[in-house]
Amino acid sequence: MTCERSPEPALDARRGRLDPEALAALRGHLQTCAACAHEDAAEALLSEALEGRLPQHAAPVALKRRLAAEWPRPATAGAGPWRRWGAISSPPRRWPRCS
């Protein structure tokens, strides 16, 4: 890893998009290069500050509906073979009167 190439992988590493080999190379470079380690720490602090101060906006309703339509539906419990047994084995709702 060279100093000219370290900013790009450092951003990818913070976002979790770096493969293990490249991540190890970046960490090794940051341990040996004080200037790049300082830049990486400054970028991390800036990102943290911006995430904390920038307003969070709700997603538009149209986007929420589109995502909900594309989301996989949960499996519904149909009238399977065991469901019928529940009706047979359960007592009636009202017990008949004894005469």
Q: Measured between alpha carbons, how far is 41 from 10 in angstroms, rounded to an integer?
A: 10
Residue 87, H or E segment = helix 81-89
Residue 66 pLDDT = 93
* Total domains present in the chain: 1
Q: Specify if 22 maps to a domain.
A: yes
Range of the domain at 17: 1-55
Q: Specify if 49 maps to a domain.
A: yes
Q: Specify if 66 maps to a domain.
A: no
Q: Measured between alpha carbons, how far is 31 from 1 in angstroms, rounded to an integer?
A: 12
Residue 11 pLDDT = 82
Q: Specify if 97 maps to a domain.
A: no
Q: Measured between alpha carbons, how far is 53 from 85 in angstroms, rounded to an integer?
A: 58
Whole-structure pTM value: 0.49
Q: Specify if 96 maps to a domain.
A: no
Decide if 39 contacts 32 (C-beta within 8 A).
no
Residues 38-91 pLDDT 10s: 988 998 899 889 888 888 889 999 999 999 998 887 666 555 555 555 555 555
